[in-house]
């Protein structure tokens, strides 16, 4: 699938537009079902695959993987600043940076809608795949597993971001009051996590190992991806033994010897990669919409908008650890030369930019070939180390931490006690996973958010900022069926 994401044909695009609920999650209208004639056209392997392709394609959109998501998962943190020019707010990125956002801040609505659009497309697939009886049964099973993984992936983003959210497990039917209530009623975090776990376990039963995918299918969700995400979901719930057990089932992966290689085109979908959002560059090609462009160096000699810039706090964290390898692969410095020979002149506006979003071949283009790395084997090792340490297995956890450190050219950790190893693992996650959309959620789940934000000049309000505000447009639509978070 990488570099050859097949966009839906014009006929299928029209068909899906007709049968799918409105792409606006707030519009709780019933589905317009495909006609018998439309189903006949789609009743084959290619038609079955197109339903799942449409789910993957949604992850390329601006409102789910690009500007808004960078804002709420990264610019909010101590790892990043708004960047750009002082007078360019980026719609709301100044509010996100200062933690002065509220329920009408646009980025929250974008991320909310984008993920529910993924869920809606997955639910459409679950409805129609069983009807495509001319498609290969084994293929349909695998595709169902992919859709389960992608729906779980979207719900994990939602529950981490907003806490209690609605669980929509099928296509709502027009005029059905139960379906209207379903789409507008928030469920507890425990219920959402249970739903995610069920989807992932179903996916595990249906998906092949990563190595089974070849050619155009490289990059699809695999059994290893489902186990890795399940381990991460367990970590967030402090289900330590379950996290270890699932991490142990992520097999067939290895660390890339050169950390910087991971973020080049040559490093995409490599032996360390477990799951990436796939981008393709060039005119009219399905890249992740303006993901690279909005984070590219800004100003004279630059090539982008300059948002989501690495903070001095992050630079200092690398320097304090002597971690030059990961620092230099994560941060573009003003007045430096990049791996492809591109010179970043002194005239660019900000001192630092996100190297992990850089596209060499399509620098500055709206759609680039940069992938977003979401699950890597290094994180699985850190999940295992953290969970084992919390279980009191500190001496057994340390070697997994050291594998990640050693790959970065660092010596073994000097931490030995459970509390010191815990802090070492948290620090390692920051340095290893910077700009991979985990820092905010790591700070919240580990209770570090208030102190980390204070050290970076931001005020994190305990009891409020652990979750983001539910978009006001949804609260209005819910008409009393859902309440707002503490905003």
Residue-wise pLDDT tens digits, 144-186: 999 999 999 999 999 999 999 999 999 988 789 999 999 999 9
pLDDT of 323-337, one tens digit each? 999 999 999 999 999
Residue 160 lies in a domain: no
112-120: average pLDDT = 96
Tokens describing residue 98: 């200062």
**pLDDT value, residue 158:** 98
**pLDDT value, residue 286:** 84
When pLDDT is cut at 50, 70 and 90, the band that residue 284 belongs to is confident
Residue with tokens 């539910």: 470
* Predicted confidence (pLDDT) at residue 4 exceeds the cutoff of 50: no
**pLDDT value, residue 395:** 98
Residue 62 lies in a domain: no
458-475: average pLDDT = 97
Decide which of 134 and 39 is more confident: 134
Residue 331 lies in a domain: yes
When pLDDT is cut at 50, 70 and 90, the band that residue 28 belongs to is very low
When pLDDT is cut at 50, 70 and 90, the band that residue 320 belongs to is very high
228-253: average pLDDT = 98
Count of structural domains within the chain: 1
**pLDDT value, residue 12:** 35
190-219: average pLDDT = 97
* Predicted confidence (pLDDT) at residue 23 exceeds the cutoff of 70: no
Residue 58 lies in a domain: no
pTM: 0.94
21-27: average pLDDT = 36
Max Cα-Cα span within the chain: 67
Domain residues for the domain of 347 are 288-370
When pLDDT is cut at 50, 70 and 90, the band that residue 33 belongs to is low
C-alpha torsion angle, residues 396, 401, 405, 406 (rounded to 10)? 30
* Predicted confidence (pLDDT) at residue 86 exceeds the cutoff of 80: yes
**pLDDT value, residue 16:** 41
Residue 177 lies in a domain: no
Mean pLDDT (the chain, rounded): 92
Residue 70 lies in a domain: no
- Closest by CA to 183, choosing from 170, 199, 198, is 170
pLDDT of 372-415, one tens digit each? 999 999 999 999 999 999 999 999 999 999 999 999 999 999 99
**pLDDT value, residue 352:** 98
Residue 199 lies in a domain: no
User: How many CB atoms sit inside 10 A of residue 337's CB?
Assistant: 10
**pLDDT value, residue 173:** 85
Could you give phi then psi for residue 81, rounded to 5 degrees? -115, 165
Residue 282 lies in a domain: no
Q: How far apart, in whole angstroms, are the C-alpha atoms of residue 201 and residue 212?
A: 19
Could you give phi then psi for residue 337, rounded to 5 degrees? -115, 125
* Predicted confidence (pLDDT) at residue 6 exceeds the cutoff of 60: no
């Amino acid at each position: 699938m990488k570099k050859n994401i097949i966009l839906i044909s014009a006929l299928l695009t029209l068909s899906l537009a007709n049968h799918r609920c409105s792409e606006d999650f707030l519009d709780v209208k019933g589905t317009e079902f495909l006609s018998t004639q439309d189903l006949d056209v789609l009743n084959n392997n290619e038609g079955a695959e197109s339903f799942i392709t449409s789910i993957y394609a949604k992850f390329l959109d601006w409102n789910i993987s690009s500007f808004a998501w960078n804002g709420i998962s990264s610019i909010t943190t101590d790892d990043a600043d708004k960047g750009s020019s002082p007078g360019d707010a980026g719609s709301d990125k100044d509010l996100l940076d200062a933690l002065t956002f509220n329920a009408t801040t646009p980025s929250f609505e974008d991320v909310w809608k984008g993920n529910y659009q993924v869920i809606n497309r997955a639910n459409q697939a679950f409805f129609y795949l069983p009807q495509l009886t001319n498609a290969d049964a084994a293929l349909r099973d695998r595709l169902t597993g992919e859709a389960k993984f992608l729906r779980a992936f979207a719900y994990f983003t939602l529950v981490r971001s907003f806490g209690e959210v609605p669980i929509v497990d099928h296509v709502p039917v027009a005029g059905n009051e139960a379906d209207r209530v379903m789409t507008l009623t928030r469920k507890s975090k425990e219920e959402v996590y249970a739903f995610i776990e069920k989807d992932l376990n179903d996916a595990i039963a249906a998906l092949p190992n990563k190595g089974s995918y070849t050619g155009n299918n490289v990059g699809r969700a695999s059994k290893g991806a489902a186990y890795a995400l399940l381990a991460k979901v367990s970590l967030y719930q402090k289900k330590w033994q379950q996290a270890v057990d699932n991490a142990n089932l992520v097999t067939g992966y290895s660390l890339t010897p050169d950390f910087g290689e991971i973020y080049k085109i040559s490093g995409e979908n490599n032996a360390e990669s477990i799951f990436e959002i796939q981008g393709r560059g060039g005119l009219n090609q399905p890249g992740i919409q303006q993901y690279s462009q909005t984070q590219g160096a800004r100003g004279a000699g630059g090539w982008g908008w300059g948002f989501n810039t690495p903070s001095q706090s992050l630079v200092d964290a690398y320097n304090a650890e002597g971690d030059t390898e990961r620092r230099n692969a994560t941060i573009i410095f003003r007045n430096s030369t990049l791996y492809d020979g591109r010179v970043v002149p002194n005239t660019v506006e900000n001192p630092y930019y996100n190297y992990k979003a850089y596209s060499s071949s399509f620098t500055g283009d709206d759609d680039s070939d940069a992938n977003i790395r979401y699950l890597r084997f290094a994180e699985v090792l850190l999940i295992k180390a953290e969970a084992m340490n919390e279980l009191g297995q500190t001496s057994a956890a340390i070697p997994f931490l050291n594998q990640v450190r050693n790959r970065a050219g660092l010596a073994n950790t000097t931490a030995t006690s459970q509390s010191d190893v815990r802090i070492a693992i948290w620090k390692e996650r920051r340095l290893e996973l910077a700009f991979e959309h985990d820092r905010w959620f790591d700070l919240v789940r580990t209770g570090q958010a208030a102190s980390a934000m204070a050290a970076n000049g931001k005020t994190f309000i305990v009891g409020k900022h652990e979750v983001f505000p539910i978009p006001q447009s949804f609260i209005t639509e819910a008409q009393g069926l859902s309440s707002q978070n503490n905003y």
